[in-house]
Amino acid sequence: MTTTDLQKPAAPAAPARWRTASGTRLVWLHGRSRRVPAAVLALAVCGGVLRAALEWGWLFRTGHFAQEFPMIIEGGAAAVLVITTHSPFGEPERTASRWLPYLRLGTALAMTGVAIGVLQIAVTGASLDGGILVMARNVIGVTGIGLLSSLVTGGLLAWILPMAYIAFAEYALLQSWTNPWTWPVRPPSDRGAWLCACAMFAAGLVAFTIRGARTRLADDG
Amino acid sequence: MTVVALSRRPARVLRLEIRRSVVPWAVPLLIALFLFDTYRTAAGLPPVWTVRSSVITQSMLVDFIPFAAGLGAWVGSREGRRKTRDLLATTVRPALMRQASALGATLFWLLLVFLAGVVVLYVTTALQATWGGPPLWPVAVGAVGVVTATVLGFTAGTLFPGRFTAPLAAIGVVLLSFAGDHAALHVAPGTSTYALLSPGAAVPLVDDGVFYHAAPDVAIAQVMFMGGLAVALLGLLALAPVSRVPFRGLLSAFGRTGRWLSAAGVALLVAGAAASSTAYALAGTARLGVSGWAIPALHDAASDQPIPYSPDCAGSSFRVCVHPAFSAYLDDANAALQPVAAEIAGLPDAPVRTELTAAGDGVPSAGDSYTATPMPYITGTPPAFSYTYYVFLNPPWNDLAIPNDATDASWNSEFQQQFLMTFVAQPNSSPLSAAQDAVVTALMTVVGSPAHVFQGEGGGKVGGGSLTQIDAAAQRFASHSPAVRHAWLAAHLAALRAGTVTLAQLP
C-alpha cells in the first residue's frame, strides 16, 4: 500500500441549496465581523437626528446655511459607514479568503446604499434643501474619501478625513465656492460636482476592494 | 519596565502617551483647516484686535472640536476596545490615573496645535494692527472649548467603548456647536439670551473694543459653563467604575474605586454642575450695553467708559480724522473725502473736519441688521462730520489680503455719497428729495465718482421725479462752473435742505 492509496476520495460537490446557505452565512459573518448591524443602527440615529432637525426647525430652510446641517449629517453617515471597513482579523483573513475582495466590495456598496436609503426615509415628507440628489452625492463622495483614507489610517480612524472634508465644505459653503471638488456646496444638477463625487467614490471603492483597509496603524492607536 | 514601575512615575507614563498619541495623525488636517478657514477669514477682517480675535471662537474652535471629541473618544475607548480592562484593573493605581495620562497626552497635542494657531494669528495681526493689544479671553474660551470637547469625547469613549463612538462623538459636538450658533444668531435685546453661552455667538462689529473696552462678561460665562461641564465629566470618569456595577454592588464598587477617589469624583461632579448652572443662569441676565453684552453680576462698570485716544488726522483746511486703530486706512478716507469737501467748502454748516465715532453697541442683532447704529451727522462749531464704521459699508479692509480696485472705487463713491447726503439733507438724510438727489449726483459727477452707484442706491427713495429726470437735472447742474454751483448752493441751501426746491429750480 502506498500513501497514494490512503488519500481520501474527493468530496462530492455540495448541493446548490447548501452552497447558497453557506454563501449567505459567509456574507452574514463578514457583515457581523465589520459590525454592520451596529453601523445600520448608527445610520438610523443620524437619520433620526436629521428628521428631528427638520421637524423642530433646528436648521435654516433657505439660503447658504440651509445645506449646513444636512451636510454634517451626511458626512457623519459616511464617516460611520467607513468604520465598517475595519477587520478584526487582520492579515490572516487576507491570506485565507479568496472571496474577501468581493465581500469588501459588496459591503461597501450595500452600506452606501443603506446610508442613502436611511437618510431618504428620514426626510420623506419633509422639505430638504437640495433634495435626495444632493444628499446621495454627498454621501457617496464623502464615503469615497473615507474608503481611500482607510487604506492609510485603517478603518477605525477612517472617519477623520471625511470629517475634515465636511469642515472644509462648511467654509466653502459660506464663501460660495464653485469648484466642482467642493461638491457639497454645488446645486443638484451640477455635472462637475457629480463627476468629482462619483470619481472619488469609484477610486475609493476600487482601491478598498483590491487592497482593503490598513490594519496596523489603527490597532496601534 | 513593569506596569507597576510605570504607574509610580506618572510623568513618564504621560511622556509615553504623548509619544504614542494618535493626535499627530490629525495635525496636518488641523493645520490645513486653520489655513483655509481661520487664517483666510481673519485676513479678510480689519486688523483690529477684537475683531481678528473673534475668529478663534467663530472658526478655529468649530474646526477643532470634532477632532478633539473624536480623538478623545478614540483614546478613551482604548481599554474597552482592546478588552484589557480586567487585566489593567490589577495595577496598583486607580483607572483614573491611567485615563488621566491618556487624556493629558491627547490634550497636550490638541492644545499645542490650537495655541500655535493662535500665535500665528496674533503675530499676523500684530504686524498689521496700529492700536491695541491681543485680547486673551477669546483664547481662554477657545482653549476651554477644546478641553471640554476632548473630555466629552473621552468620557463617551470610556463609558461606551466601541468602534462607532469616535465618529459619533465628533458628529455630536459639531451638531451641538451648530445648534448653539444657530440659537446665538437670534439673540437680540428683549429675547432669551441663554444662547450667548455658545462660543460662536455674534460676530463683533468692526469697532468693537475700539472706543469702549470689550466686556469679558460673556466670555467669563462661557468659560464657566464649558469648564464646569468638563469638570463634571471628569467627576463622572472618576466614578465610572461605580457606574458599571448594579445597584446592589454599589458599596463594594465604592470600596474598589477608593473612598477618597469616589469623594473627589462626587465633588467634581457637583462643582462642575454648579459652575455650569451658575453660568447658565448668569447668561439669562445679559443685557446689551455700549461695550457689548453685559452680565450685571460680572460686569465692571469701568468698561463702559470711553477709552481715551488721540485721533490720527490728515489734510489741512479740511481735516480727516480716524481712530488710531483704523489709521492704516486714513489715506483712503482722506482721498475719498477731500474732493467732495472742496466742492462744499465755505457753504453754511459745511464740515471742516470728520471724525469716526463709536457705533453705539458691540453686537449685531438678528437678520444681519445692527441695533442702535447712529446715522452720520454734522454737528459742532466749527461743524464736523461724524460717522461710524457702518458708513464705510464695504471698506477696503480686505485689501491687505485681496487687493481689489473695483471694491475700492465702489467704497469711495459710497463714502462720498454718505458725506454729501448728510450735508444737503441734514438733519434727515433719508429719503432724499429729487432735487437733493440731483445735487448730490451732480457733485459726485464733478469729482469723478460713478454717479450711477448713488442713483441705484437712492432709486427707491427719491420723490418728485424719475431717475431720468433727476439724472438730467444733475448733469445740468454739474455742467456749470464751480463758482456758479457754489453761489447757487450758498443761496438755496436752506430751501434745499427743507425739501422745497424742485428739479426745475435747479440751474
User: Quick one: average pLDDT of B400-420?
Assistant: 65
For the cut 60, the answer to whether the pLDDT of residue B331 exceeds it is yes
Express each pLDDT in B416-459 by its tens digit.
888 888 888 775 556 777 888 888 888 888 888 876 544 444 44
For the cut 90, the answer to whether the pLDDT of residue B264 exceeds it is no
The single-letter code of the amino acid at B373 is T
| Angstrom distance (rounded) from CA B130 to CA B197 | 31
B407 to chain A, closest Cα gap in Å: 17
Pairing of strands B384-387, B377-379: antiparallel
Question: Could you say which residues from 261 to 320 on chain B have a Cβ atom under 8 Å away from some Cβ of chain A?
Answer: none
ipTM of predicted complex: 0.86
pLDDT > 70 in chain B, percent: 82
| Angstrom distance (rounded) from CA B76 to CA B150 | 10
Mean pLDDT of chain A: 86
Residue B398's pLDDT band, with cuts at 50, 70 and 90, is very low
Residue A143's pLDDT band, with cuts at 50, 70 and 90, is very high
Tell me if A43 is assigned to some domain.
Answer: yes
Cβ(A101)–Cβ(A210) under 8 Å?
yes
Helices A100-123/A68-82 angle, 10° precision:
150
CA distances from A56 to A48, B172, B196, B198 (A): 12, 17, 21, 19
B293 has which bridge partners?
A: B288
For the cut 80, the answer to whether the pLDDT of residue B234 exceeds it is yes
Residue B63's pLDDT band, with cuts at 50, 70 and 90, is very high
Phi and psi dihedrals of B189, rounded to 5?
-55, 135
String of b and e for A199-216 (b: at least 16 CB within 10 Å)? ebbeebbeebbeebbbbe
For the cut 70, the answer to whether the pLDDT of residue B313 exceeds it is yes
Name, of A94-108, B159-173, B384-398, the range with top average pLDDT: B159-173
Q: Any idea of the CA torsion for A68, A71, A75, A76, to the nearest 10 degrees?
A: 70
User: Quick one: average pLDDT of A169-190?
Assistant: 87
Across the interface, of A73, A79, A217, the residue whose CB is closest to B167 is A79
| Angstrom distance (rounded) from CA B118 to CA B67 | 17
User: Quick one: average pLDDT of B165-190?
Assistant: 86
B26 to chain A, closest Cα gap in Å: 7
Residues of A in contact with B178 (CB under 8 A): 58, 68-69, 72
Helix then strand then coil, in percent of chain A rounded to 5, is 75, 0, 25
What 3-state DSSP class applies to B254?
A: helix
Nearest to A81 by CA among B29, B77, B71, B168: B168
| Angstrom distance (rounded) from CA B66 to CA B487 | 67
Tell me if A15 is assigned to some domain.
Answer: no
Tell me if A86 is assigned to some domain.
Answer: yes
Least confident of A50-64, A148-162, B423-437: B423-437
Overall number of domains in chain A: 1
Which domain, by its residues, includes A156? 35-220
Residue B251's pLDDT band, with cuts at 50, 70 and 90, is low
Residue B366's pLDDT band, with cuts at 50, 70 and 90, is very low
Mean pLDDT of chain B: 81
For the cut 50, the answer to whether the pLDDT of residue B365 exceeds it is no
A57 to chain B, closest Cα gap in Å: 10
Cβ(B193)–Cβ(B176) under 8 Å?
no
C-beta atoms of B167 and A80 within 8 A: yes
C-beta atoms of B162 and A38 within 8 A: yes
For the cut 60, the answer to whether the pLDDT of residue B27 exceeds it is yes
What's residue A220's pLDDT?
Answer: 47
B166 touches chain A (CB under 8 A): yes
Residues of A in contact with B66 (CB under 8 A): 163, 167
Cβ(B142)–Cβ(B227) under 8 Å?
no
In chain B, domain spans: 11-304, 312-505
Least confident of A139-143, B142-146, B188-192: B188-192
Q: Which residue of A has its CA nearest to B60?
A: A167
Residue A18's pLDDT band, with cuts at 50, 70 and 90, is low
| Angstrom distance (rounded) from CA A74 to CA A163 | 10
Residue B382's pLDDT band, with cuts at 50, 70 and 90, is confident
A199 to chain B, closest Cα gap in Å: 22
Tell me if A20 is assigned to some domain.
Answer: no
B395 to chain A, closest Cα gap in Å: 18
C-beta atoms of B22 and A58 within 8 A: no
Q: How many C-alpha atoms does B204 have within 13 Å on its Cβ side?
A: 32
Pairing of strands B292-294, B312-314: unpaired
| Angstrom distance (rounded) from CA A115 to CA B473 | 65
User: Quick one: average pLDDT of A137-162?
Assistant: 94
| Angstrom distance (rounded) from CA A201 to CA A105 | 12
Residue A179's pLDDT band, with cuts at 50, 70 and 90, is confident
| Angstrom distance (rounded) from CA A100 to CA B307 | 71
Cβ(B100)–Cβ(B124) under 8 Å?
no
Cβ(B21)–Cβ(B105) under 8 Å?
yes
Q: Is the CA virtual torsion B341, B343, B346, B347 positive or negative?
A: negative
Q: Is omega for the bond preceding A92 within 30 degrees of 0, making it cis?
A: no
Pairing of strands B312-314, B384-387: unpaired
Residues of A in contact with B163 (CB under 8 A): 35, 38, 83, 86, 155-156
Least confident of B115-124, B206-215, B222-231: B206-215
Residue B390 per-residue DSSP state: G
| Angstrom distance (rounded) from CA A74 to CA A84 | 16
**Chain A residues with CB within 8 Å of chain B CB:** 35, 38-39, 42, 45-46, 49, 58-60, 68-69, 72-73, 75-76, 79-80, 83, 86, 153, 155-157, 159-161, 163-164, 166-168, 170-171, 217, 220-221
Nearest to B315 by CA among B375, B348, B355, B277: B355
Q: Strand order of the sheet with strand B384-387? A: B312-314, B319-322, B353-356, B384-387, B377-379
Q: Any idea of the CA torsion for A50, A54, A55, A56, to the nearest 10 degrees?
A: 100
Residue B301 CB contacts under 8 Å (≥ 6 apart), including other chains = none
Phi and psi dihedrals of B415, rounded to 5?
-65, -45
Least confident of B100-104, B150-154, B255-259, B329-333: B255-259
- The structure's pTM equals 0.83
Tell me if A7 is assigned to some domain.
Answer: no
Cβ(B415)–Cβ(B431) under 8 Å?
no
- Other beta carbons within 10 angstroms of residue B95's beta carbon come to 20
Residues of B in contact with A73 (CB under 8 A): 171, 175
| Angstrom distance (rounded) from CA A83 to CA A111 | 11
| Angstrom distance (rounded) from CA A211 to CA A158 | 15
Cβ(B75)–Cβ(B154) under 8 Å?
yes
What's residue B389's pLDDT?
Answer: 67
| Angstrom distance (rounded) from CA A202 to CA A208 | 10
**Burial classification of residue B52, based on how many CB atoms lie within 10 Å of its CB (0-12 exposed, 13-18 middle, 19 or more buried):** buried
Q: How many C-alpha atoms does B9 have within 13 Å on its Cβ side?
A: 10
Tell me if A11 is assigned to some domain.
Answer: no
| Angstrom distance (rounded) from CA B395 to CA B412 | 8
Cβ(A111)–Cβ(A219) under 8 Å?
no
C-beta atoms of B182 and A59 within 8 A: yes
Q: Is the CA virtual torsion B340, B342, B343, B348 positive or negative?
A: positive
What's residue A15's pLDDT?
Answer: 67
B378 has which bridge partners?
A: B385
Q: Quote the cell numbers at residue A123.
A: 426626510
Q: Which residue of A has its CA nearest to B72?
A: A221
Q: Which residue of B has its CA nearest to A78?
A: B167
Nearest to B155 by CA among B75, B226, B271: B75
For the cut 60, the answer to whether the pLDDT of residue B486 exceeds it is yes
Sole residue written with cell 458725506: B419
Residue A186 per-residue DSSP state: S
Express each pLDDT in B276-299 by its tens digit.
999 999 999 988 877 778 898 988
CA distances from B148 to A20, A194, B106 (A): 51, 38, 12
Residue B160 per-residue DSSP state: S
| Angstrom distance (rounded) from CA B245 to CA B253 | 7
C-beta atoms of B164 and A42 within 8 A: yes
Residue B403's pLDDT band, with cuts at 50, 70 and 90, is very low
Least confident of A49-53, A98-102, B172-176, B258-262: B258-262
